[in-house]
């Protein structure tokens, strides 16, 4: 029930204002929560005398859809209790239970994941986002004290060796509750740059390497992940040192992936691992055979020119996803084992490779013209012919650039140097015949050619999951601001958890209402579904009635709200949320 409350502001309480407040129990104690400001006494009197005492006022509005949907899903998957069961309470600043501000480690990590899904911020700025949502109202908790230190302390309660156990339990519940398809397991790696100081020797996992976001000036952390092909739902992740190459990482975690799949109840005989050619090595492929993996991988055309030559002239037409492509299939002994290989021409790849050559060519031509202009300038200092030739040779280096541009450095009668160059168009035309080839290999010898190619095309799904994790508007993981190995691993777990929840919700909407938008579009719509507090002063009564309800929605918002039953969540919040929070007496 709401009521009117007067508060004094200014020096010596000079200014007095009236507010509509609602008494709520926060952490077990009653607290007044401000819903709306009614202004001064004169303004309030004017409202009453003008006869609008029965008028309904919108006091406060909260972003509601995404928070409500994810909290409901977290309750269904029992995420909070699973995390809490694997915490370590042996900390000097902790009590017997890992707790801070009456919040457990489980709910803290979940709230971090929800924030990352809806509006990625620093952990210091998390509350600035949360207070604009219905999170406090749904959980009946005060969240205003959640800051970076809060997250730091409760993340510290998660031993890094327990992260795989937590993820395995959550994933087991996902498979059980949502009946996800697990025939294809897509594997890939990526890396995230950090801001860890180069002199910091307390962190071993962040190292310098080839960064995929072009930040080679910073230390980076690697992330390997296995996702489902159908909905890109993460099933496994591993955080590794940023200077490890893909092949070495693949060799290191193959056993862990198999153990995870067995632990969550998969029939390993029916699963097929799909990976990119960067993970290839003779040792790795031997391991796949030893551990009885079924797989679909790729080979580098440059290293298997004999297969390309054999395929040319022996192509046949195959329909893959309603498109006709030229395919050559055979069984070949590669690295000591017989494998089915499929050579095909990808027009999309061919166009991309040619575009790359032309872009590179334009850059080279621009630099050559710049050198020519400098040589013609009479004020330019004369250079040695040999040095100039070496400079141009170095400039013309690059993938596929060999032989495309020929040049000559001449010296005239006055001793001045001139650069002449020419583009070999025939060489470019010959590249068009070499581009576009893909080679796929598998030990699924009984699969059709179409099925092998379709399975390999699914590799793009895991790359899409990584792109979403690097999206600055949604998800945005990366452990950029942590500087110990344990914190980095816990933060990566939070990122993967947020990705799991978002992918599951997207899958649910596709099944229920045939939603065709992206995950980002889904989150945008959910965040626009708002919960509003309505206050009404009833005649002949002292109190003010407050009612919470969803704001009027657009057609798409209403459809999603009905599919996820969001209109019921704020009404049954204590029963639905069921999040365990210890109070001060339990401490």
Tens of pLDDT along 262-301? 888 787 778 899 999 888 888 988 888 888 889 999 998 8
Q: Which pLDDT band, with edges at 50, 70 and 90, does 504 fall under?
A: very high
Which tens digits make up the pLDDT trace of 470-501?
A: 777 665 555 567 778 888 899 899 989 999 99
Instruction: Quote the tokens at residue 553.
Output: 């929605």
Output the pLDDT for position 583.
Answer: 44
Output the pLDDT for position 349.
Answer: 83
Return d(Cα 207, Cα 221) in angstroms, integer. 7
Q: Are 210 and 189 in contact (CB under 8 A)?
A: no
Q: Which pLDDT band, with edges at 50, 70 and 90, does 580 fall under?
A: very low
Return d(Cα 104, Cα 330) in angstroms, integer. 57
Which tens digits make up the pLDDT trace of 429-471?
A: 777 777 888 899 999 999 999 999 998 888 887 877 888 777 7
Averaged pLDDT for residues 163-183:
89
Rounded to whole angstroms, what are the CA distances from 57 to 62, 313, 533? 15, 77, 8
Output the pLDDT for position 353.
Answer: 83
Which tens digits make up the pLDDT trace of 111-167?
A: 989 888 877 777 788 888 888 888 888 888 788 888 888 888 888 889 989 999 999
Averaged pLDDT for residues 338-352:
87
- For the ranges 17-26, 165-174, 295-304, the maximum mean pLDDT occurs at 165-174
Which tens digits make up the pLDDT trace of 198-216?
A: 888 888 888 888 887 778 8
CA angle, 131 as apex, 126 and 134 as ends, to 5°? 115
CA angle, 208 as apex, 467 and 274 as ends, to 5°? 40
Output the pLDDT for position 58.
Answer: 54
- Which of 220-224, 380-384, 564-568 has the weakest average pLDDT? 380-384
Q: DSSP secondary-structure letter at 189?
A: E
More confident residue, 567 or 176: 176
3-state percent helix, strand, coil for the chain, nearest multiple of 5:
45, 25, 30
Using the predicted structure, report yes or no on whether residue 32 has a pLDDT greater than 90: no
Listed in sequence order, the residues at least 6 apart from 14 whose beta carbon sits closer than 8 Å to its beta carbon are: 8
Residue 419, strand partner residues: 409
Instruction: Quote the tokens at residue 27.
Output: 């952490």
Give the CATH H-level superfamily of domain 161-346+439-481. Answer: Transposase Inhibitor Protein From Tn5; Chain A, domain 1 (3.90.350.10)
Which tens digits make up the pLDDT trace of 297-317?
A: 999 887 888 888 888 888 888
Return d(Cα 331, Cα 452) in angstroms, integer. 14
Alpha helices in 219-276 (DSSP H): 246-263
Residue 553, strand partner residues: none
Q: Are 488 and 28 in contact (CB under 8 A)?
A: no
% of the chain exceeding 90 in pLDDT: 19
| 572: enclosing H helix or E strand | none
Averaged pLDDT for residues 84-101:
66
CA dihedral 250, 256, 261, 267 (to 10 degrees): 80
In the chain, what are the domain boundaries?
A: 2-64+532-577, 161-346+439-481, 349-434
Instruction: Quote the tokens at residue 118.
Output: 């809806």
Output the pLDDT for position 167.
Answer: 94
Q: Which pLDDT band, with edges at 50, 70 and 90, does 172 fall under?
A: very high
Return d(Cα 167, Cα 171) in angstroms, integer. 6
Stated pTM of the model: 0.78
Using the predicted structure, report yes or no on whether residue 507 has a pLDDT greater than 90: yes
| 300: enclosing H helix or E strand | none
Listed in sequence order, the residues at least 6 apart from 446 whose beta carbon sits closer than 8 Å to its beta carbon are: none
How many C-alpha atoms does 180 have within 13 Å on its Cβ side?
31
For 361-404, give the secondary structure using H, E and C: HHHHHHHHHHHHHHHHCCCCCCCCHHHHHHHHHHHCCCCCCCCC
Return d(Cα 191, Cα 313) in angstroms, integer. 41
Q: Which pLDDT band, with edges at 50, 70 and 90, does 554 fall under?
A: confident
Output the pLDDT for position 569.
Answer: 79
Residue 225, strand partner residues: 188, 237
- Which of 63-77, 353-367, 371-385 has the weakest average pLDDT? 371-385
Instruction: Quote the tokens at residue 416.
Output: 């001045």
Instruction: Quote the tokens at residue 224.
Output: 């390997």
Q: Please count the other Cβ atoms lying within 10 Å of the Cβ belonging to residue 354.
A: 16
Q: Are 67 and 135 in contact (CB under 8 A)?
A: yes
CA angle, 22 as apex, 19 and 27 as ends, to 5°? 130
State in Å, rounded, how far the first CA of the chain is from the last one. 31
Return d(Cα 481, Cα 212) in angstroms, integer. 18
Return d(Cα 344, Cα 327) in angstroms, integer. 4
């Amino acid at each position: 029930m709401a009521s009117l409350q007067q508060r004094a502001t200014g020096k010596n309480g000079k200014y007095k204002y009236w507010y509509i407040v609602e008494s709520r129990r926060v952490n077990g104690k009653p607290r007044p929560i401000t819903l709306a400001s009614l202004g001064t006494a004169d303004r309030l009197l004017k409202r009453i005398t003008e006869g609008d005492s029965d008028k309904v006022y919108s006091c406060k509005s909260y972003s509601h859809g995404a928070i409500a949907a994810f909290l409901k899903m977290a309750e269904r998957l029992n995420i909070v209790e699973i995390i809490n069961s694997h915490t370590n309470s042996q900390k000097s600043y902790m009590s017997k239970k890992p707790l801070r501000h009456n919040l457990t480690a489980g709910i803290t990590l979940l709230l971090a994941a929800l924030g990352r899904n809806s509006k990625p911020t620093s952990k210091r700025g998390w509350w600035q986002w949360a207070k604009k949502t219905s999170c406090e109202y749904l959980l009946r908790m005060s969240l205003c004290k959640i800051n970076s230190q809060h997250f730091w302390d409760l993340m510290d309660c998660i031993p890094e060796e327990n992260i795989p156990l937590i993820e395995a339990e959550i994933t087991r519940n996902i498979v059980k509750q949502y009946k996800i398809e697990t025939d294809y397991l897509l594997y890939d790696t990526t890396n995230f740059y950090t801001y860890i100081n180069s002199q910091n020797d307390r962190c071993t996992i962040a190292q310098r390497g080839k960064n995929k976001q072009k930040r080679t000036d910073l230390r980076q952390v690697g992330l390997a992940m296995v996702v489902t092909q159908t909905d890109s739902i993460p099933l496994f992740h591993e955080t590794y040192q940023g200077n490890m190459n893909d092949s070495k990482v693949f060799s290191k975690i193959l056993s862990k992936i198999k153990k995870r799949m067995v632990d969550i109840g998969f029939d390993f005989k029916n699963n097929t691992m799909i990976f990119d050619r960067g993970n290839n090595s003779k040792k790795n492929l031997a391991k796949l055979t030893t551990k009885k993996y079924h797989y679909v991988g790729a080979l580098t055309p440059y290293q298997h020119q004999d297969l390309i030559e054999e395929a040319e002239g022996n192509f046949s037409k195959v329909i893959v996803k309603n498109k006709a492509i030229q395919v050559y299939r055979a069984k070949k002994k590669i690295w000591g084992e017989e494998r089915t290989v499929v050579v095909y021409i990808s027009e999309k790849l061919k166009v991309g490779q040619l575009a790359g050559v032309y872009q590179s060519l334009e850059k080279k031509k621009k630099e050559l013209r710049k050198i020519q202009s400098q040589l013609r300038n009479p004020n330019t200092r004369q250079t040695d012919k040999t040095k100039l030739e070496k400079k141009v040779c170095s400039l013309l280096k690059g993938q596929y650039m060999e032989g495309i541009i020929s040049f000559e450095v001449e010296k005239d009668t006055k001793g001045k140097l001139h650069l002449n160059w020419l583009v070999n168009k025939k060489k470019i035309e010959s590249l068009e015949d070499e581009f576009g080839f893909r080679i796929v290999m598998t030990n699924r010898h009984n699969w059709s050619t179409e099925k092998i190619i379709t399975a390999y095309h699914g590799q793009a799904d895991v790359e899409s999951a990584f792109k979403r994790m690097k999206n600055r508007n949604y998800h945005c993981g990366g452990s950029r601001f942590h500087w110990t190995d344990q914190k980095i691993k816990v933060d990566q777990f939070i990122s993967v958890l947020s990705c799991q929840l978002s992918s599951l919700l997207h899958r649910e909407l596709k099944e229920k209402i045939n939603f065709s938008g992206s995950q980002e579009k889904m989150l945008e719509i959910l965040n626009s579904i708002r919960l509003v507090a309505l206050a009404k002063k009833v005649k002949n009564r002292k109190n003010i009635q407050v009612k919470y309800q969803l704001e009027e929605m657009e057609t798409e918002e209403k459809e999603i709200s009905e599919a996820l039953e969001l209109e019921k969540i704020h009404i049954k919040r204590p029963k639905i949320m069921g999040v365990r929070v210890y109070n001060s007496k339990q401490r």
